[in-house]
Every structure is written in C-alpha cells, then in structure tokens.
Amino acid sequence: MQGSPQDVSHLLNKRIHVKLTGGREVEGLLKGFDTVNNLVLDECIEITRDVSEENPKDSTRNLGLVICRGTSIICSYPTEGTEEIDNPYTEKLEN
C-alpha cells in the first residue's frame, strides 16, 4: 500500500506523464518529489499537439532535467501499466 494519494515514492526511477496548467504535457523519469508535490523529472520530453488539423498530431522536444511545480500540476500517471479508454462524454445524445 502506498499511503497518501500524494505519495509517489513507488514511481521513483519510472517514466511518468504529467499534465500541467496551460495545456502543457511532459514525460520523464521521476527522480524526486517533495511534500508539496513538486516533481523532478530527468530525460524529460515535452509533448505538443497540433489541434488545428482534423487529425491532431503529436510532436516532442527534449527538455532534459525539469522541475515541475506542484501548483502547476493537473495530474500525473505512470506511462507503463495504463491504457487510453474511450471518453463516454464525446458521444452525441440521441433524442
């Protein structure tokens, strides 16, 4: 059992995906964290999506070592052991 929801010690040295305020997303190896959920990521990449097209495309750029401020983090999750599911709220309602 991991303890509190903010305890990410079981994810140290594993790749995590972090969504930040302002629409930014990064992914990297979790190297450290503190009590206010600041995260230190190594081998970090930024993921950007071009949503102006019909089929959005992802592009990445290398950032290296990054500190994500806890107040800017919307959510974080491990990249391994998760899978994307269909969003039930995107279906149109039939009358």
Please indicate, yes or no, if residue 83 is contained in any of the structural domains. Answer: no
Please indicate, yes or no, if residue 88 is contained in any of the structural domains. Answer: no
CA neighbor of 26 nearest in space, from 18, 36, 34: 18
Domain CATH code at residue 52: 2.30.30.100
Measured from the Cβ of residue 33, the count of other Cβ atoms closer than 10 Å reads 20
Please indicate, yes or no, if residue 20 is contained in any of the structural domains. Answer: yes
pTM of the model: 0.76
CB 75 within 8 A of CB 6: no
- The enclosing H or E element of 73 equals strand 73-78
pLDDT of residue 1: 44
What is the residue range of 72's domain? Answer: 9-78
Tally the residues of the chain.
95
Cα gap 69→27, rounded to integer Å: 14
pLDDT in tens, 19-70: 999 889 999 999 999 988 899 999 999 998 877 767 777 889 999 999 999 9
Number of domains in the chain: 1
pLDDT in tens, 1-31: 455 556 788 999 999 999 999 889 999 999 9
